[in-house]
Amino acid sequence: MLRFEELAYASTPMGELTLRRRHVAAVDADVYEVKLGEEFLMSSLFTVAEEELARLGLSAVEAAGPLDVVVGGLGLGYTAVTALADDRLGSLTVVDALPEVIRWHQQGLLPVSGSLVGDARTRLVHADFFALMRDAPGAHADVPAELHAILLDVDHTPTFTLDASHADLYSEVGMRRLARHLGPGGVFALWSDDPPEEPFLAVLGEVFDVVEGHTVQFANPLTEGMSRNGVYVARRS
């Protein structure tokens, strides 16, 4: 049995990007992993919190639909595919700064690629999500000017970003810019590698009317224990 296979490699402005598949004996299954340089970004072994980002975020949207939703960060595609499972969803725009990641899915390299790319509601957009949020609504032709929800899964946490240029989004000014892209009742939801922390909940509270922090716990077969991630959910009135 092949234990390790590199499926794709690219040199990007952010570093060396690698998609690989390896067999993990602890779960007797193939696992897909993304590395940026020497840092592990994501693994198909741990998708519970990414899926909960979509479920918790969209469950906070009270509109009947059809919903226009943006996902910031494509990655392995689990947040986006979970969003597609919501019957109210009308359009799903997935924004990623790395064209290589978009190409992986277009080439069908990942387990959920077919479901994602094959759904007519999906649009994969190569763009800088953080720059889009700084721009006025409607500035990008491929992104709806008024959204029902924005689901973000790019950085490790609000204070541990992949790139220094992302940091301003997590300030009060940055959140106010993002909120302009949401219509009345619109929801912003954010995945974090750590459980929700009070400083960022306070920032959200300055901008949004309803703010919640969710701790998502899931089994970790590598440590034989439990791991915890966080999902922030904030809604406009």
| Lookup: tokens for 18 | 């690698």
**Residue 142 covered by a domain:** yes
Q: Can you give the pLDDT at residue 42?
A: 87
Please choose, from the candidates 21, 31, 89, 53, the residue with its C-alpha nearest in 3D space to the C-alpha of residue 193: 53
Which residues is 24 bridged to in the sheet? 29
**Residue 150 covered by a domain:** yes
Q: Can you give the pLDDT at residue 222?
A: 79
**Residue 26 covered by a domain:** no
For residue 156, the enclosing domain spans 45-235
**Residue 95 covered by a domain:** yes
Alpha helices by DSSP H, 118-168? 129-134
Location of structure tokens 């302009």: 180
**Residue 6 covered by a domain:** no
Rounded CA-CA distance 33/30 in Å is 10
Q: Can you give the pLDDT at residue 2?
A: 55
| Lookup: tokens for 175 | 């959140």
**Domain count across the chain:** 1
Cβ-count burial of 227 within 10 angstroms (0-12 exposed, 13-18 middle, 19+ buried)?
middle
**Is 148 within 8 Å of 93 (Cβ atoms)?**
no
**Residue 32 covered by a domain:** no
**Residue 87 covered by a domain:** yes
**Is 7 within 8 Å of 91 (Cβ atoms)?**
no
CATH label of the domain that carries residue 128: 3.40.50.150
**Residue 9 covered by a domain:** no
Low-confidence stretches of the chain (pLDDT beneath 70): 1-2
Location of structure tokens 């009317």: 209
**Is 76 within 8 Å of 41 (Cβ atoms)?**
no
